[in-house]
A and B are shown apart, each in its own frame.
Chain A
Amino acid sequence: MGEIARKKYKPLQVNPFKLSQPMGATLAFLGVDRCMPLMHGGQGCTSFTKVFFTRHFCEPIAIQTSAVTDAIAVLDGGDYSIVESVKNITKKISPSLIGLHTTGMPETKGDDVCGVAAKIDFPLVTVNTPDYEGGLESGWALTCKALIEQLVNPAQETDDNKLVLLPHVSLQPIEVEKIKEFIEGFGFNVWALPDLSRSLDGHLGEKQAALSSGGISVEEIRALSDAGLVISVGDSMQTCGNVLRKKNPEMRHHHFSHLHGLEAADSLAELLLAETGFSGPPIPVARWRQRLQDAMLDSHFSLGQSRFLVAAEPDQIAGICQSLYDAGGRVTLAISTVDSPQLKKIKAEKILVGDLEDAEQQVEDYDVIVGNFHCEAIAHRHHKGLVLRGFPNWEQVGNPLKNDILYEGGAYFLFECANAATAARDEGRRHPEE
């Protein structure tokens, strides 16, 4: 746990990797089966978001805009464009849900989206996500919270075999699936909210859907409140766990800051053993634990000689830094998009809320970068190693299947980082200081 620098004054962001709340909200809605995210604002916010996720996931992305234009922007409380949007969307397709969320413009004029939605006869979940507040993580978390508050039916009884998983935004679809499988191995029936592992995992569907092609269904969300256990992953999601418990106080909520690395995976296994009363884990889990231990040893030679920059959303930084730290990798600089309680716990020498210009100004401090594709330019200019993680990654394919968590993913992640570090050292020898 290192020094946290928050107050550095800079009037602007230069080479930002921060992303907006509305984008996080869109992504969360895409984890609901047959949902149509409807972004209330100018058409550009939606267009940018659509292209952004289409390129990252290499999948068609369902999303619509209320296309607020000049006259409406000034005169109207959002009623017209929202009502028209719902009319036009449902003319062609029948979503199970419309996920209505805001951007900066309607928030600035003070549109009452919840009020408008109440007048519309169609299943809607509304959430306020101005893009001048928070970031990707909070947009996702706020949306998850709204889904719980507005859809989940209250209950008193609990089913101890039923478990709700609340994953943070930076977990890739395969990672959500791996957590579900891990827990299911202990005999639970697991529902993830939101669930990208069934919608954006890169499967080839029967046809190009106009709506999200999978995810948790609206009916399943309504019925979540009889789960005996709730597990939230990532500090951005802790509140959602508490909100879900309000629907049924009998639920037991356990929180994990992340599920990266040996210790975190052990804690999850320990919890599940305690909850089930099992004496040991499923065989594959035990085998993967041994493989991770071996991977830590195999990779520590390279990692131990390397200094890392990790640039990501707070919950993801926390996990990645722990993984690297466990095998001797020194994170000399962690740059977060936004502030978060998570920053206090991060295993890094220096933690900064900032942008990639800050990263480039401290380029002497690290050898390998873990970050999104905007980091490629820095890596290239300064001959650094690069492990592409986070949103967006437009340079590589296969993002939905990148698994860094628990025993199995942890092993693969350490190998990838160690190999990148070795390659960077070799490159450094070929290009001595320029």
Chain B
Amino acid sequence: MVNKPKIKELLDESSCTHNQSRKVACNAPTPGATTGGCAFEGAQISLFPYADAAHLVHGPMTCLGSSWETRATGTSYPRRDLTQMGFTTDININDVVFSGEEKVAASIDYIMEHYKPEAIFVYATCVTAMIGDDIDLICKQAAEKHKVPMVPVHAPGFVGSKNLGSRLGGEAALSHLIGTREPEETTPFDINLIGEYNVTGDMWQYSPLLEELGIRILSTLSGDGRIAQICTAHRAKLNVIVCAKSLVSLTRKMEERYGIPSISLSFYGRRDTSDGLRAIAKALGNDDLIAKTEQLIAREEAAIAVKLKPYQAFFQGKKAVLNTGGNKTWSIASALQDLGIEVVATAVKKATEDDRAKARQTLGEKGVLMMNPGVEQAKIIDETGADLLLAGGRSLYTAIKKGIAFADVNQEKKKCYGGYEGLLNLAEDLKNALQNPVFKNVLRRAPWEK
């Protein structure tokens, strides 16, 4: 069942900054004025990239029918990539009246027989949580029968937002996977990557650098992840939270339970990537490693500087407005600055207190932190003469209206912007956007309107 005290506790995360200042519930959607995803979506996002696990959604068609094969989470898993498959019990009225438990058990058997995954995550959704189907018991019995982990995920949409769902996904991994297996060997430089989902291969932009430094990624939650590895996560020396505030509860509990410290960082842009590598080396606390890391950073920064040189003149004097959420409010801003673009404003509406402070630091005193970007961005473009708007697809019209270039930095992005090399992708995309005559052409008046 959905555990109420647990949800309350997750909403009241002690390591969140705003909890020290004022109580702000992370979880108060407004009826008729809400656009974000639900807890189920959040849980799915945080666990989905395990390519060797099946994700069985116990619910009606909306939950999975419109959400499978939507995220380009890269995997190196050599067998059939289960993240690109959809499994759902697709419950009908009969199941609502007489329970869908048998269907879940039979579905698990079916998946084990046909796809032999290393684990199955079973998600309760609004309807199946409400009718009280006991997925805990079914999972327990199925795990004994099939000898692989079966993980019940209690994040039905009605408990709250996507962010809360990610936390609940983390909780599920903590209670059913982490600490259930011992690694074959450990090294002094074992880390877990938490909250990196390897969308468009972001993680692969920096994981080779970690490897070169002798830092081993013991497990991930969950980009390019494997079930066997996340089970050993409790033996890591450090948890590295990449771009995801939602999993701070998980890392706090891992610190309490297993003594694993954690750091939070981003791999967007040159400075953030360098700072991130530095932070990991420093947290692992080895002087040789720190020295080696500095050498690597110097080498990579020099290399990327050469590659970015052709863009420098082009971006000089260009101004951008950034409208995105979470840590992207400052991390992409910093990447833009690395390219020589002035960031005149960034949205902080969907950012935490920490993120807002970092955004202020990144943009400096002159930069505008937009609390109501939908309304403010057009005005700021006019006032500053910005050349470029980076936002989610819905802001395209603002850019068209102002006749300036637009780049999509939200979920529809197809390219990776992470690490040093990702910065090159970003530079190329922004150059193309700024040179594209379409933003002027669509403003052309019809002959009969002149």
Contacts and interface: CB of A to CB of B under 8 A. Distances in A.
Interface string A268-296: 00000000000000000000000000000
Given A11-B103, A12-B107, A374-B69, A65 B63 contact: no
B41 A47 contact: yes
A109 B39 contact: no
Contacts of A11: 89, 102-103, 106-107, 109-110
A44 interface: yes
Contact of B60 (A65, A131, A374): A131
B206 interface: no
A45 B62 contact: yes
Interface string A140-157: 000000000000000000
B77 to A, nearest CB: 15
Interface string A70-94: 1001000000111011111101100
Nearest to B109: A11
Nearest to A103: B62
Interface in B13-41: 27, 29-41
A43 B107 contact: no
A68 B61 contact: no
Given A87-B32, A132-B60, A20 B66 contact: yes
Nearest to B88: A13
B227 to A, nearest CB: 20
A15 interface: yes
A48 B89 contact: no
Residue from B37, B60, B62, B88 with most neighbouring chain A CB atoms (10 Å): B62
A396 interface: no
A23 B33 CA distance: 19
Nearest to B126: A105
Contacts of B394: 54, 60, 208
Contacts of A69: 27, 29, 158-160
Residue from A17, A68, A88, A105 with most neighbouring chain B CB atoms (10 Å): A105
B130 interface: yes
Nearest to B33: A88
A207 B95 CA distance: 45
Interface in B97-136: 102-103, 106-107, 109-111, 114, 126-127, 130-131
B29 A20 contact: no
B361 interface: no
A268 to B, nearest CB: 33
B64 interface: yes
Interface string A1-45: 000000000111111111111110000000000000010011111
B65 A44 contact: no
Interface stretch (B79-87, B255-263, B307-315): B79-87
B442 A44 contact: no
Nearest to B165: A44
Contacts of B66: 19-20, 23, 48-49, 51-52, 392
A130 interface: yes
Contacts of A43: 29, 34, 36-38, 157, 161
A224 B376 CA distance: 42
Interface in A208-222: 208
A66 B126 CA distance: 14
B84 A70 contact: no
A119 to B, nearest CB: 16
B152 interface: no
Nearest to B160: A69
A67 interface: yes
Contacts of A126: none
Contacts of B306: none
B49 interface: no
Given A14-B86, A85-B31, A70 B160 contact: yes
B209 to A, nearest CB: 32
B373 interface: no
Contacts of A68: 31, 158
Interface string B53-71: 0001001111111111110
A55 interface: yes
B156 interface: yes
B62 A22 contact: yes
A16 B59 CA distance: 13
Interface in A369-407: 373-374, 377, 392, 394
Contacts of B92: 132-133
B62 A20 contact: yes
Contacts of B30: 67, 84, 88
Contact of A84 (B32, B36, B95): B32
Contacts of A207: 397, 401
Contacts of A13: 64, 86-90
A64 B62 contact: no
A258 interface: no
Contacts of B401: 207
Contacts of A81: 31
Contacts of B158: 42, 68-70, 73, 105
Contact of B65 (A16, A38, A373): A16
B352 interface: no
Given A12-B89, A23-B66, A64 B159 contact: no
Contact of A48 (B41, B86, B87, B93): B41
Nearest to A47: B37
Interface in B186-234: none
Contacts of A167: none
A50 interface: yes
Residue from B60, B67, B88, B102 with most neighbouring chain A CB atoms (10 Å): B60
Residue from B34, B92, B110, B442 with most neighbouring chain A CB atoms (10 Å): B34
Nearest to A53: B66
Contacts of A204: 400, 442
A371 to B, nearest CB: 13
B353 interface: no
Contact of A73 (B34, B109, B126): B126
Residue from B33, B70, B442 with most neighbouring chain A CB atoms (10 Å): B33
A104 interface: yes
Contacts of A46: 34-35
Given A82-B31, A108-B96, 11 more contacts: A22-B62, A44-B41, A47-B37, A66-B32, A69-B158, A70-B2, A103-B126, A130-B60, A132-B95, A207-B401, A377-B84
Nearest 5 CB-CB pairings of A with B:
A44-B38, A42-B157, A85-B32, A208-B397, A88-B32
Interface of B: 2, 4, 7, 27, 29-41, 56, 59-70, 84-93, 95-96, 102-103, 106-107, 109-111, 114, 126-127, 130-131, 156-162, 393-394, 396-398, 400-401, 411-412, 442
23 contacts: A11-B89, A12-B56, A12-B107, A16-B61, A18-B65, A42-B38, A42-B156, A43-B34, A43-B37, A43-B161, A45-B157, A51-B70, A52-B66, A70-B158, A81-B31, A84-B30, A85-B32, A103-B62, A104-B126, A108-B126, A130-B60, A131-B61, A131-B62
Interface of A: 10-23, 38, 41-52, 54-55, 60, 64-70, 73, 80-82, 84-89, 91-92, 103-105, 108-109, 130-133, 135, 204, 207-208, 373-374, 377, 392, 394
